[in-house]
Structure 1
Amino acid sequence: MSKYAHVRNLILLRHGQTEWNAADRMQGQIDTDLTELGRQQAKEAARELGSRNAIAIHASDLRRAKETAQALGDVSELPVITDPRLRETNLGDWEGLTHLEVDADYPGARVQWRLDATYTPPGGESKLEVGARALPVVRELYNERQDWPGRTIILVAHGGLIAALTAALLELPPEKWPVLGGLANTSWVQLSSHGPDVDRPGWRLDVWNAAAKVAPDVQ
């Protein structure tokens, strides 16, 4: 038996590009669609991750994540299970605004939001709240999927949620959450659980912001 047979692997994949990503517009939980580039990114990520011995694919129920997940499901021949707890951060009054508009209307707020996991956009939720919302998804899978050890589960979601969930799984103190930066479209995070049970999972961060291929503007 492999010495890694007990290890649970978890991949967190960000969705492909949307028009709002391209325009630096704050999406939050607004239900936007992938661009053609985003669909191609999803197919490329699916080809890369389709060989990861996955046993389950769970996704945010927002269209950009569902469509990205379905590309992976088609390759892996696995159903996509949607879960609203994997939605992106609720950005409240900022949703629909560009970065420049938020900066004009709420001077300094977006910087504070990035540096303080307790900061709550007006009418929205903090990064800590996002992590607390998503963490039970993983805990439930830990308990329910007895076939997880030695295999991989993939969650397809959003950049803010993935960063918050990763910080929550690693039990980082709130002041350290900002060390986890942004994710490119269809980049992913990989964690592995080496602990004995759900209360002592022993999560480790193995990969951050990996991609199926090098971006064309990176030499």
Structure 2
Amino acid sequence: MSKNAGVRTLILLRHGQTEWNAVDRMQGQIDTDLTELGRRQAKEAARELVSRNAIALIASDLKRAHDTALALSEHAEIPVVLDPRLRETSLGDWEGLTHLEVDSDYPGARVAWRLDAHYRPPNGESKLEVGARALPLVRELFAERQDWPGRTIILVAHGGLIAALTAALLDLPPQNWPALGGLANTSWVQLSSHGPGIDQPGWRLDVWNAAAKVAPDVL
């Protein structure tokens, strides 16, 4: 028996590039489209991840994540299941603004947001709230997918959501959440659960910000 026979592997993949990513515009839950580069990135990531023995593919219902997941689905021949709990952080009044506009209108706020998991953009969500929104999905998969041990589940989502969910799964203290930095487009995170069950999952962070490297795309 493989030494990993009982290990549940979870891959969290960020969507491909959008036009708004390219110009540093805050997307949040606004539904934007992939660029041509973003679609190429999705196909490259799919070729890289198809060998991961995946049994399920679940995506945010925002188009940029759904379309990225469809590229994986074509390679892995697994249907895409959409789940709105995987949507990006709601950025409230910041959505649609560029980074420079946010810095001009709300001096110091983006720095505070990056460094404080409790910080909530005006009419938006804190990182802690985003983690709490997504965590039940993984707990449900733990309970329902008896075929998960020894295999992989892939979630396709957004940079802020992935960082928050990772911190929540690892049960990091809120002051340590900023240790998980930004993710490039179609980069992924890999976690593995080595614990005895849902109440003691024993999550480990195996990989952070891995990429198939189609093109320079650094945040």
After TM superposition, the score normalised by the length of structure 2 is 0.98
* CA distance in 2 between partners of 1:44 and 1:135 (Å): 28
Look up the match of 1:131: 131
Are 1:69 and 2:69 counterparts? yes
* CA distance in 1 between partners of 2:188 and 2:215 (Å): 14
Deviations 1:156-179 (A, max 9, x none): 000000000000000000000000
Are 1:28 and 2:9 counterparts? no
What are the residue-to-residue correspondences of 1:120-199 with 2, within 5 Å?
120-199=120-199
* Matched AA of 2:181: G
Identity, in percent, stands at: 84
* CA distance in 2 between partners of 1:55 and 1:74 (Å): 14
Q: Helix, strand or coil: the match of 2:42?
A: helix
Runs ≥4 in structure 1, deviation > 6 angstroms?
Answer: none
Using the TM superposition, give the Cα deviation of residue 213 of structure 1 relative to its aligned residue in structure 2, in angstroms. Answer: 2.3
Using the TM superposition, give the Cα deviation of residue 209 of structure 1 relative to its aligned residue in structure 2, in angstroms. Answer: 0.1
Look up the match of 2:97: 97
- Structure 1: where are the runs of 5+ without partners? none
* CA distance in 2 between partners of 1:75 and 1:210 (Å): 19
- Structure 2: where are the runs of 5+ without partners? none
Q: Helix, strand or coil: the match of 1:168?
A: helix
* CA distance in 1 between partners of 2:41 and 2:23 (Å): 17
Give the paired residue count: 218
Using the TM superposition, give the Cα deviation of residue 217 of structure 1 relative to its aligned residue in structure 2, in angstroms. Answer: 8.1
Using the TM superposition, give the Cα deviation of residue 4 of structure 1 relative to its aligned residue in structure 2, in angstroms. Answer: 1.1
Deviations 1:76-129 (A, max 9, x none): 000000000000000000000000000000000000000000000000000000
Are 1:203 and 2:183 counterparts? no
Q: Helix, strand or coil: the match of 2:175?
A: helix
Residues 212/172 of structure 1: CA separation in 2 closer, same or farther (3 Å cut):
same
